[in-house]
Amino acid sequence: MEPSTGNAKLERNKQNVMAMYDAMKKGDVNAFMNLCSSDVKDYGDGSMKPMNRDSLQAFMQSWSKAFPDFSISDEKVLADGDWVAVYAENSGTWKGDFMGQKANGKKFKFYDADIFKLNDEGKITEHHNVQPVTTIAQQLGMKMQ
């Protein structure tokens, strides 16, 4: 692969991941899902069963309703081959019911590292993150089962 071709692929992959972040900030689940492959897997932090495309879409719809002001800021983006990593601040306010629990208006804020694998078409095939879901739950006062 010529260096310029490799650089173009890295830039495209970074742009696609950042477009996915923009879709999350806007609560645009369709735009978010359009950036994912048909066989996408979301592994999260590894503490729960990975989500497939359908369960990821359902989760993102629920997330965007529960945290309509969700924000990602201060992004640091790195790319290597098919992989893109983003370290950023995440924040939001619990304004809608989520995971069977009633909203309480509490806020969360934390830094996380998200790691994405993209295919040759620039679609996201895998997502991994570092921050456990318990961090958000503790800040929001959610009951974990």
Domain count, the chain: 1
Q: Count each helix (H run) and each strand (E run) in the chain, helices first.
A: 4, 5
Residue 18 lies in a domain: yes
Residue 88 lies in a domain: yes
Could you tell me the CA-to-CA distances from 104 to 76, 94, 97, 137, 138 in Å, in that order? Answer: 31, 6, 9, 12, 13
Residue 145 lies in a domain: no
The model's pLDDT over 29-54, given as tens digits with 9 standing for 90+, comes to 999 999 999 999 999 999 889 999 99
Q: What domain range includes position 17?
A: 3-140
The model's pLDDT over 110-140, given as tens digits with 9 standing for 90+, comes to 999 999 999 999 999 999 999 878 888 899 9
- Which CATH number goes with the domain that contains 69? 3.10.450.50
